[in-house]
């Protein structure tokens, strides 16, 4: 393995700068790009030489507020979407178990909170679970 070279000559040898200290996991060679002057870890822009973001809780909250656009992509909205997607996926699989459809299955990864429905017992438990949530929801509102 060749030794790490701390400096790099650029512009036909007229400029000497620090060299990125990152090494390739495949070839074990040092990155050939110049390190950023502002990098505390002596890395180029491709290996993490730019800012690593705020460290304090106030700074992180300030960045989160700056990037907040609307409530559609909030954590609560994403969880609600994932829950409804899992519910629809379970209903679709129940249709296959009951023989109500022969259309192809929905492609893609399963949503978070999804539990498979493969037997009549699973369909029965799913229906009981839906009824339980429906009854609990009506009791909480009154």
Assigned domain for 57 exists? no
* Strand boundaries in the chain, DSSP class E: 7-10, 15-18
Assigned domain for 64 exists? no
**5 DSSP assignment:** P
Residues 81 and 47 in one domain: no
Say whether pLDDT at 142 is over 50: no
Residues 80 and 28 in one domain: no
- Give tens-digit pLDDT for 95-119: 999 999 989 988 999 888 899 999 9
Residues 48 and 84 in one domain: no
pLDDT band at residue 55 using 50, 70 and 90 as cut-offs = confident
Assigned domain for 121 exists? yes
Q: What is the mean pLDDT of the chain?
A: 85
The pTM of this model reads: 0.51
Residue with the bigger pLDDT between 62 and 10: it is 62
Structural domain that includes position 88: 75-141
Residues 128 and 92 in one domain: yes
When divided into structural domains, the chain yields a total of: 2
């Amino acid at each position: 393995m060749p030794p790490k070279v701390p400096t790099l000559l650029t512009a036909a040898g007229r400029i000497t700068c620090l060299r990125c200290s990152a090494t390739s996991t495949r070839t074990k060679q040092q990155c050939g790009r110049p390190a950023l002057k502002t990098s505390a870890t002596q890395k180029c822009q491709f290996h993490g030489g730019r800012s690593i973001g705020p460290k304090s809780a106030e700074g992180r909250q300030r960045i989160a507020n700056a990037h907040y656009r609307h409530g559609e992509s909030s954590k609560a909205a994403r969880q609600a979407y994932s829950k409804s997607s899992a519910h629809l996926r379970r209903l679709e699989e129940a249709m296959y178990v009951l023989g109500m459809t022969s259309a192809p299955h929905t492609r893609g990864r399963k949503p978070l909170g999804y539990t498979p429905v493969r037997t009549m017992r699973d369909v029965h438990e799913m229906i009981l679970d839906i009824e339980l949530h429906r009854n609990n929801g009506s009791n909480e509102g009154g």
